[in-house]
A and B are shown apart, each in its own frame.
Chain A
């Protein structure tokens, strides 16, 4: 019984620590978001109302950030942000592999008409010359997919500052999501232990009254 009380107290302290951590991260998230809005407003003031709006969104977008979720044994889910900048090495490796594949495909397509063959020979020659120095430009790199480019080639510093702020917000969001999941798991565990404690005290009370 005493062990159960100690366990319950430890769970309660853990719960309070988690709430405190959540409160701290929330405060930081909220202030970063406000900083981001302020920077966007300043950029809009210098560029014009319609230049910084949903009208400027690209018609095709590729995400530069992904979230990895891993389910732990305790039932909590941990979220971790991964940016595309960390994967540039993998991209260049993939580009090399794809280039080799395309070359072989060019050779295979020579069954078609002579005109196509000539075009393909030219294309494969171009690929051979381009292969050495230009692998990065053949497929979109994170630099080419930068959302800042939707708003123009030369964007004000304020818009870049907004981007930096929101990138931090995204990383913090993943951390807050992990803490929220931990809080709910701790709550569930505590409720189970409280219920167990109440059942035990309910059983021991009749014994006390008999004595």
Chain B
């Protein structure tokens, strides 16, 4: 059953957020909280985690985009998220290229095979 249009949230460094906001995903008005977080050097891990959890709790967010190096800081929170909506997508950052071995989804897919399954 198709749902109504949902938002795309982004948690990333300044250039990542600027790029995606240029793409038109940003929402910011007096009544609602923003659907993005610009992570700077002085942004605490607690703030990142709280923002991530607030995005998960909102029912109007369909996809969460997050730089992989930021995802590493809150890996426990990302691994704990088992629902399919919102989908969490890890993206590279300028200083940290994408590493498939760290991606939560691919780690779950990789861990399903063992030697006994092929007997």
Q: Which residues of A contact B (CB under 8 A)?
A: 15, 19, 23, 26, 29-30, 33-34, 36-37, 40-41, 52-54, 57-71, 75-77, 79, 82-84, 145, 147-148, 159, 162-163, 165-167, 169-170, 173-174, 176-177, 180-181, 183-184, 187, 190-191, 194
Contact A191 B17, CB 8 Å, known A61-B27, A159-B22, A167-B23: no
* CB nearest neighbor in A for B92: A30
Assess whether A79 is in contact with B62, with CB atoms less than 8 Å apart: yes
Distance of B38 from chain A, by nearest CB (Å):
5
Docked Cα-Cα span, A41 to B23, in Å, equals: 16
Given the interface pairs A30-B92, A65-B25, A67-B63, the reply to whether A79 lies near B5 with Cβ below 8 Å is no
Find chain B residues with CB under 8 A from A36 CB. Answer: 19
Residue of A nearest to B82 (CB): A184
Contact of B84 among A26, A65, A148, A181 (CB under 8 A): A181
The size bracket of the interface on B is 35 or more
> Cβ of B18 and Cβ of A69 under 8 Å apart?
no
- The answer to whether the Cβ of B80 comes within 8 Å of any Cβ in the partner chain is no
* A183 and B24 form a contact (CB under 8 A): no
Task: Tell me if B8 is interfacial: C-beta within 8 Å of chain A.
Answer: yes
User: How far is B115's CA from A3's CA once the two chains are assembled, in angstroms?
Assistant: 22
A54 touches B84 (CB 8 A): no
A190 to B35, CA, bound (A): 36
A14, chain B: closest CB distance, angstroms: 13
Q: Does B94 contact A (CB under 8 A)?
A: yes
Is A57 touching B112 in the complex (CB atoms < 8 A)? Answer: no
Whether B22 pairs with A148 at a CB distance below 8 angstroms is yes
Q: Contact flags (1/0) for B5-41 with A, using CB distance below 8 Å? A: 1111000001111111111111111100011001000
Which residues of chain A come closer than 8 Å to B112, judged between CB atoms? 187, 190-191
Is B109 interfacial (CB 8 A cutoff)?
A: yes
Shortest distance from the beta carbon of B23 to any chain A beta carbon, whole Å:
4
* A83–B25 CA distance with the chains assembled, in angstroms: 10
B residues adjacent to A (C-beta < 8 A): 1-8, 14-30, 34-35, 38, 62-63, 65, 84-85, 87, 89, 91-92, 94, 97-98, 100, 105, 108-109, 112, 117
- Note all chain B residues with C-beta closer than 8 A to A58: 28
Q: A37-B94, A169-B23, A180-B89 are in contact. Are A70 and B5 (CB under 8 A)?
A: no
Contacts of B87 in A (CB 8 A): 77, 79, 177, 180-181
Known: A181-B87, A183-B105. Contact between A54 and B5, CB under 8 A? no
Q: Kindly provide the distance from the CB of B17 to the nearest chain A CB, expressed in whole angstroms.
A: 7
Identify which of A70, A147, A184 contacts B108 (C-beta below 8 A): A184
CA distance A136 to B52 in the complex (A): 37
Contact between B6 and A67 (Cβ–Cβ < 8 Å)? yes
Q: Which of B2, B18, B97 contacts A70 (CB 8 A)?
A: B2
Enumerate chain A residues within 8 angstroms of B38, measured Cβ to Cβ.
54
Query: What is the distance, in angstroms, from B5's C-beta to the closest C-beta of chain A?
Result: 3
B19 to chain A, nearest CB (A): 4
Complex CA–CA separation, A52 to B18 (angstroms): 8
Q: How far is the CB of A170 from chain B (nearest CB, A)?
A: 5
> Smallest CB-CB separation from B64: which chain A residue?
A177
